[in-house]
Amino acid sequence: MQRRTFLKTAGAGTVIALAGCTGDSGGDGTSTEVPATETDTPQTGTPTVTDTSPSGSLTVATYDSFTGEGTAGNYLKSAFEEQYSDVTVEFTVPENGVNQYIQRKQQGAPVNADLYVGLNTGELVRADEELDTSLFEHSRDQLGRRDAINTELEIDPEGRAVPYDTGYISLVYDEDAVEEPQTFDDLLEPAYENGLITQNAQQSDPGRAFLLWTIDAKGEDGYLDYWASLQDNGVKILDDWQPAYNAYMNEEAPMVVSYSTDQVYYHGEDVNMARHQIGFLNDQGYANPEAMARFTDADQPELARQFMDFVLQPEHQAEVAQRNVQFPAVTDAELDESFSQYAFEPPEAVTFSYDQLKGNVEGWIDDWARQVVSN
């Protein structure tokens, strides 16, 4: 079975080339004003979506690092409320992520949110497999900005979950401490003993993506043997990205599973860039798009749709990319020169599609957890 979906990338050893300059990351977050009544102009052959001036309170469920001072979420909240003075955006951070809403739907309890931001392909598959009715409703065809979305980042064949950014899972390594590993098999060599930190695939997006990347590389019949060899060579598995990266910065190992945009965040005059080198095993990176989706039980479905279109505007996509340290989901975002210089794309990007994960992903993770986490 062909289990890889290939995404177009910039080529080996190159950085993304994006025109224009919207200001440095961490800028003042200002954006071009759009009239309260707005008509998007999609490409020829698609209907025009006309927004009336929205009002009310929009509840957005998301992950913790999307909210707070200086974050993409805080920028979007401020910009949306500034443009639409009768709207309030409220964030809620569910303790168990999308699982909380799956459980509420199973129990017949109200969802108490309008929009989920931060959905990945595996989570969408899980929601569909565990529920008799859909947790999310179709949105893509109702968006004025749908034709600007990079179609290679689409994660949902039914158009409910719409991508707003993407990252590529890679290694970040210290070139003063270790040579860049070229392949997955290199990580099993004595030179890399006790050298790698990664994350728990049960509860971490990059950890799950790295696991899927190993399944892609080693196959369903070989990935558990590969992980057994990684364990024999001293791989360290921590709960999530933050503790894993903290351990790496504390020099507990010379390599960590992270994102190929690492240098966007860490470059600077006083930064030792030797500790922020990007490694693409097998000349690949695992593409991990993030999506937003409206709940079928939303109190404000139209307001949620308007917020989705707002997020996909090019100036807001540029801000999301800079603040989330990820690549934009649209093809017309203009990013500043520092992003273009320090954001690396893999020569070959791989990912599992919705159909490839359906019926498989939970079993893969469970088998991995029984072997790796329980030991």
pLDDT in tens, 81-109: 999 999 999 999 999 999 999 999 999 99
pLDDT in tens, 260-290: 999 998 888 888 999 999 999 999 999 999 9
d(CA 197, CA 36): 48
- Residue 38 pLDDT exceeds 50: no
3-state secondary structure 260-324: CCHHHHHCCCCCCHHHHEEECHHHEEEEEEEEEEEECCCCCHHHHHHHHHHHCCHHHHHHHHHHH
- CATH of span 2-166+288-340: 3.40.190.10
d(CA 200, CA 369): 8
d(CA 181, CA 173): 9
- Residue 48 pLDDT exceeds 90: no
**Neighbouring C-beta atoms of residue 312, cutoff 10 Å:** 26
- Residue 41 pLDDT exceeds 80: no
For residue 206 the two structure tokens come to 């990059």
CB-CB contact of 143 with 42 (8 Å): no
Per-residue pLDDT at 186: 98
* pTM for this prediction: 0.83
Give the residue-averaged pLDDT of 222-241: 97
Give the residue-averaged pLDDT of 353-370: 97
Q: Could you confirm whether domain 168-287+343-374 is CATH 3.90.1150.10? A: no
Spell out the domain ranges in the chain: 2-166+288-340, 168-287+343-374
CB-CB contact of 40 with 145 (8 Å): yes
CB-CB contact of 168 with 286 (8 Å): yes
Are both 2-166+288-340 and 168-287+343-374 of the same fold?
yes
Beta bridge partners of 198: 237
- Residue 170 pLDDT exceeds 50: yes
Lowest mean pLDDT among 17-31, 148-162, 280-294, 313-327: 17-31
For residue 158 the two structure tokens come to 């039914």
